[in-house]
Amino acid sequence: MNFKLWIYYNNQVKLYNNKLYNNKLKVYTKVGDGGETFTLGGIKVRKDDLRIKVYGEIDELTSWIGVIISHLDDVQSMDERNRILEFLKFIQNKLFDTGTVVIGMVIDEIDSWVLEIEKEIDYIESKLKPIRKFILPGGSKLSSFAHVARCVCRRAERSAVELSFKANVDKRIIKFLNRLSDYLFVLARYFNFLLNTEDITRDDSVKRKIKVSVKKEQL
């Protein structure tokens, strides 16, 4: 995180709404009542600005990871529970840092974040059976939460891609979100594994019916 940016941001908060009291920002500032807000860099934009959309989706993703963390007591193994907890906290903090990337800043550490995610994916996959069928969301509660987080992550990634074509954005944020969605997928499977719950897989009979239907239509 660029510390100077946060100093700058806090100065903008003081300048624009002057609602700091004892160095604390009040929850309600009334700045956004007209449908406008400020980016981390102090730029005034509409709340439907694409940058705000990316902020919001990353915030939503961070919140879903918080939901996962709040249910980790379901995992009986203390070692695995602590490992997942520490890594998810790491991810939450890095997601928070990505706000600076949205406004055009560069975070040199992004590549190292991606490597950390890949290491964790490799660790989890070493514990799981190879995938033979398409996995459907479900099984355990934790697995379902992880799948929802994965979907939100994909949405944030799509918005980041859109933003990258319209603004000066470090495209490595896309790589980070892409790899994170991969992690959340294997984490969902891992939760089922740890909780002795079978993955839900696609019914092959549905696939066969679709093939038969397509062939008939072609005739």
Q: Looking at the structure, tell me whether residues 30 and 76 fall in a common domain.
A: no
- Non-local (6+) Cβ contacts of 128 within 8 A are 186, 189, 190, 193
Domain-located, residue 42: yes
Confidence at residue 40, expressed as pLDDT on a 0 to 100 scale: 60
Confidence at residue 70, expressed as pLDDT on a 0 to 100 scale: 97
pLDDT at 22 > cutoff 50: no
| pTM of model > 0.75 | yes
Domain-located, residue 94: yes
How many distinct structural domains can be found in the chain? 2
Range of the domain at 6: 1-46
Confidence at residue 82, expressed as pLDDT on a 0 to 100 scale: 96
Contact in structure between 150 and 203 (CB atoms under 8 Å): no
Domain-located, residue 58: yes
Average pLDDT on 114-118 reads 97
Q: Looking at the structure, tell me whether residues 31 and 116 fall in a common domain.
A: no
CATH number for the domain spanning 92: value is 1.20.1200.10
Q: Looking at the structure, tell me whether residues 127 and 109 fall in a common domain.
A: yes
Residue 216 Cα to chain centre, angstroms: 42
Q: Looking at the structure, tell me whether residues 89 and 53 fall in a common domain.
A: yes
Confidence at residue 83, expressed as pLDDT on a 0 to 100 scale: 96
In order, the DSSP letters of 167-219 are S---THHHHHHHHHHHHHHHHHHHHHHHTT-PPEE--HHHHHHHHHHHHHHH-
Domain-located, residue 96: yes
Q: Looking at the structure, tell me whether residues 57 and 142 fall in a common domain.
A: yes
Contact in structure between 57 and 30 (CB atoms under 8 Å): no
Q: Looking at the structure, tell me whether residues 55 and 42 fall in a common domain.
A: no
Domain-located, residue 219: no
Q: What percent of the chain has pLDDT over 70?
A: 70
| Phi, psi of 142, deg, nearest 5 | -60, -40
Q: Looking at the structure, tell me whether residues 57 and 4 fall in a common domain.
A: no
Q: Looking at the structure, tell me whether residues 138 and 170 fall in a common domain.
A: yes
Q: Looking at the structure, tell me whether residues 65 and 36 fall in a common domain.
A: no
pLDDT at 122 > cutoff 70: yes
Q: Looking at the structure, tell me whether residues 104 and 28 fall in a common domain.
A: no
Q: Looking at the structure, tell me whether residues 56 and 37 fall in a common domain.
A: no
Domain-located, residue 163: yes
Domain-located, residue 132: yes
Domain-located, residue 158: yes
Average pLDDT on 177-202 reads 94
pLDDT at 212 > cutoff 80: no
pLDDT at 125 > cutoff 80: yes
Q: Looking at the structure, tell me whether residues 16 and 82 fall in a common domain.
A: no
CB-count burial class (<10 Å; 0-12, 13-18, 19+) for 179: buried
Strand partners, 20: 25
